[in-house]
Chains A and B, each alone.
Chain A
Amino acid sequence: MKTSFPRSLQTVIIALVAVGLVALALGGYFNPVTSWFTRLTIDAQTWISTRYLAVADFLTVPRDVASLRQRNAELEVEVAQLQTQVIDLQQKVTETNILSALVDFARANPEYSYKAAAIIGLDPSPFLRYVIINIGSNQGILPGMPVVTDKGLVGRVDAVIAEAARVQLMTDAASAVNVRLQSSDTEAMLVGSVTGDLSLDMISQDAAVTVGDVVLTSGLGGSYPPNLLVGQVVSVRKLDYELFQQAAIQPNVDFNQLGFLLVITNFAPVDSAPLIATPGP
């Protein structure tokens, strides 16, 4: 037996079921079902997507490695170039700082004319403390001209050729500079040594010399201009049976870090050799 509903009734039933389902959904009764379905869908999509990406990676990796290697090589070259530039710039900054200090010194001491020079070498003999600078007679440099940095006296020009000059440092064993102690206005002689240490000699026994006294050039003898900073007294040796006191000096200039120098070009050293008496015939 076949039961048949009228078509309109079927439509009404379907509409009622649909409205009921919508009402249940709006009422939140389907939340567990929808969340389960959503989770299932997301899991499935994740699985598919992951597998797809794995396959895609597998197919495209060889090309990427090659391009990455090329890119890596390019970047390495660029990094090397940049590192070179950084080192170059750091060196320039250091040089600029040194030159800036030298310019400040020149401005603070306008009574002298200066020529800046770079040290390009040391004397080949370990017995001598001389440096070679990159300016010479073509730049107006003459033997005997004093050499300074912003920290103070360095030495004097010993020999000159057209484009270079040799400077005798005041730490050289044969160097002798007439100086004075600023606090007591005592005259003394600064001498170097084979080890590069500086010491004061010919200090009168009556003079009051204390550690920390500032040492300046005296200008006596005309070899160096007066009042150039030399260093400080670090120790004093006074023995009653000796004619003079002695003192060790810490130079203001760091002779191990010398890079740039200033040659005082308008100071003419006095040649006192003709004044020294020689034994007659």
Chain B
Amino acid sequence: MRRGILVAIPVLGLATMLQTSIVGRINLLNGAADLVLLILAAWGLQERVRNAWIWGAAAGLLVGFVSGTPWYVYLVGYLVVVGMARLLAHRVWQAPLLAMFTVTLIGTLVLLMLTYLERSLFEVSLAFNLSFVQIILPSILLNLLLAIPVHALIRDLANRLFPAEVVS
């Protein structure tokens, strides 16, 4: 349990740095992948992980601090992603990639819609069609493309931290 929380700090810190310096620059139209969201989704889907909620809260606060978007948007968005992942982890465990794709698709949509709503309600009116076509759809596609490698990496990390117990 404690190991998982300790690992969250370097993993999420590194993910945020990679997101702001590299991943955010790889654009499809005006969309970009969200590495932190993918890591949270993959982490939440691991059966033996028990601290995914803490990861979600830490990531939400961290990215919310870096971003110009209010912190609560990322906090809520990432907690939704973790919640969905925990929900699916116990239901479609036989098809982890399917679960990963589902969480990525819905999680990205939820997070970007939250961002869109926050901006539209409190800052500036944004055209929904343009936002959907130029940002939300391309971001979902990029996240789906990155979902498989991120899932593989996080699964390996989780297996190292929480090895399966051998029944003698």
Contacts and interface: CB of A to CB of B under 8 A. Distances in A.
Nearest to B63: A124
A124 B30 contact: no
A114 interface: no
A194 B126 contact: yes
Interface in A110-154: 120-128, 130, 132
Contacts of B130: 193-195
Contact of B69 (A127, A173, A195, A196): A127
B135 interface: yes
Nearest to B62: A124
A128 B67 contact: yes
Nearest to B17: A121
B126 A125 contact: no
B115 interface: yes
Contacts of A195: 30, 130, 134
Contact of B126 (A121, A158, A173): A173
A28 to B, nearest CB: 86
Contacts of A196: 30
A125 B68 contact: yes
Contacts of B115: 125, 127
B67 A125 contact: yes
A156 interface: no
Nearest to A119: B21
Contact of B24 (A122, A158, A174): A122
Interface string B50-83: 0000000000000100111100001000000000
Interface residues of A, number: 21
Contacts of A126: 24, 27, 30-32, 112, 135, 139
Interface in A163-207: 166, 168, 173-174, 193-196
A121 B67 CA distance: 10
A274 B112 CA distance: 33
B123 interface: yes
Contacts of A123: 20, 24, 66-69
Interface of B: 16-17, 19-21, 24-25, 27, 30-32, 34, 36, 63, 66-69, 74, 112, 115-116, 119, 123-124, 126-127, 130-131, 134-135, 139
16 contacts: A122-B20, A122-B25, A123-B20, A124-B34, A124-B36, A125-B115, A126-B31, A127-B119, A128-B68, A166-B68, A173-B123, A173-B126, A194-B30, A194-B126, A194-B127, A195-B134
Interface of A: 120-128, 130, 132, 158-159, 166, 168, 173-174, 193-196
Q: Which 8 A-B pairs have the closest CB atoms?
A: A121-B20, A122-B24, A174-B124, A126-B32, A130-B68, A174-B123, A128-B68, A125-B69
